């Protein structure tokens, strides 16, 4: 049993529309896995089911061998499933460090404390600071997120997820909205992530996908079209038709 995250026959329909059709999927431990597919292929629905925001119609999800299909969002996070959002979902008015510290505090189970000052929780603050340091955000720690350029905000988004010390990390288009000149910074950060985290990335930036991923799954119309190493996917005729063909239209 070497899967960090496993999905069996996952289905989801909205009325007559099938957005997930018997998806079988496996994320190895320490994986660098990309999920690609044309718009409307069902990638975000898939992520939302994995994180528990959306209930599947049928099927099973296992995190580290444990069935999480019936668990809520918070329970999955507690078991090591972290995510980032395609559109920044941050505390814009709060300082950068608080964005991360709120996440660290939840993981450490200190967020219910009502009497000791947050400021006195050195462990939480130091850990958040270390994270910001590794992502090159240390100087901005006390600035509010709203003041940062969008590229840096994307990094904060990643930092918040890392604050959960996830075993599995789902990155929903981490480079979305970032000017291509700055996207290399995102790639650097991703490349430097600890090797024991299993990462599933959804991304439209093919350059980033092929440089980062060691395995690629292609989703089209709610079903898995192909899966394999980047080189295999690049050569796959059906993928080229469905996916690349669509891009050129």
**Nearest to other proteins of 131, 242 (CB atom):** 131
Q: Does 64 bind other proteins (CB under 8 A)?
A: no
Helices (H), the chain: 43-51, 73-78, 96-108, 122-134, 150-162, 180-191, 206-212, 230-235, 237-239, 245-248
Which residue has tokens 């718009």? 39
**Nearest to other proteins of 12, 215 (CB atom):** 12
Q: Does 90 bind other proteins (CB under 8 A)?
A: yes
Q: Does 167 bind other proteins (CB under 8 A)?
A: no
Instruction: Say which residues have a Cβ less than 8 Å from residue 80's Cβ, sequence separation at least 6.
Output: 63, 64, 164, 165, 166, 167, 168
Strand partners, 42: none
Q: How far is the CB of 100 from other proteins (least distance, A)?
A: 9
Contacting residue, 12, 35, 50, 51, with other proteins by CB under 8 A: 51
How far apart CA 23 and CA 161 sit, in angstroms, is 25
Contacting residue, 12, 33, 43, 107, with other proteins by CB under 8 A: 107
**Nearest to other proteins of 157, 203 (CB atom):** 157
Q: Does 197 bind other proteins (CB under 8 A)?
A: no
Q: How far is the CB of 48 from other proteins (least distance, A)?
A: 11
Contacting residue, 25, 46, 85, 212, with other proteins by CB under 8 A: 85
Identify whether the C-beta of residue 155 lies closer than 8 Å to the C-beta of residue 90. no
Which region, judged by CB under 8 A, interacts with other proteins, from 2-10, 36-44, 122-130, 210-218?
A: 122-130
**Nearest to other proteins of 66, 248 (CB atom):** 66
How many CB atoms within 10 Å of residue 30?
15
How far apart CA 72 and CA 7 sit, in angstroms, is 16
């Amino acid at each position: 049993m070497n899967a960090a995250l496993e999905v069996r026959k996952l289905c989801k329909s909205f009325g007559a529309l099938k957005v997930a059709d018997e998806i079988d999927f496996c994320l190895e431990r320490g994986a660098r896995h990309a999920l690609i597919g044309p718009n409307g292929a069902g990638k975000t629905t898939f992520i939302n089911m994995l994180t528990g925001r959306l209930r599947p119609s049928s099927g099973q999800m296992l995190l580290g061998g444990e069935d999480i299909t019936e668990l809520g969002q918070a329970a999955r996070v507690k078991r090591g499933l972290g995510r980032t959002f395609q559109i920044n979902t941050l505390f814009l008015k709060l300082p950068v460090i608080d964005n991360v510290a709120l996440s660290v505090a939840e993981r450490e189970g200190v967020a219910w404390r009502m009497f000791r000052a947050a400021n006195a929780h050195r462990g939480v603050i130091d850990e958040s600071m270390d994270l910001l340091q590794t992502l090159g955000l240390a100087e901005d720690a006390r600035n509010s997120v709203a003041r940062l350029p969008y590229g840096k905000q994307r990094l904060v988004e990643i930092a918040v997820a890392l604050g959960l010390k996830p075993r599995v990390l789902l990155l929903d288009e981490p480079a979305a909205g970032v000017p291509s000149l700055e996207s290399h910074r995102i790639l650097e950060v991703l490349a430097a992530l600890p090797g024991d985290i299993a990462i599933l990335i959804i991304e439209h930036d093919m350059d980033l996908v092929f440089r980062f991923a060691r395995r690629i799954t292609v989703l089209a119309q709610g079903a898995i079209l192909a899966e394999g190493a980047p080189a295999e996917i690049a050569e796959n005729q059906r993928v080229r038709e469905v996916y690349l063909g669509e891009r050129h239209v």
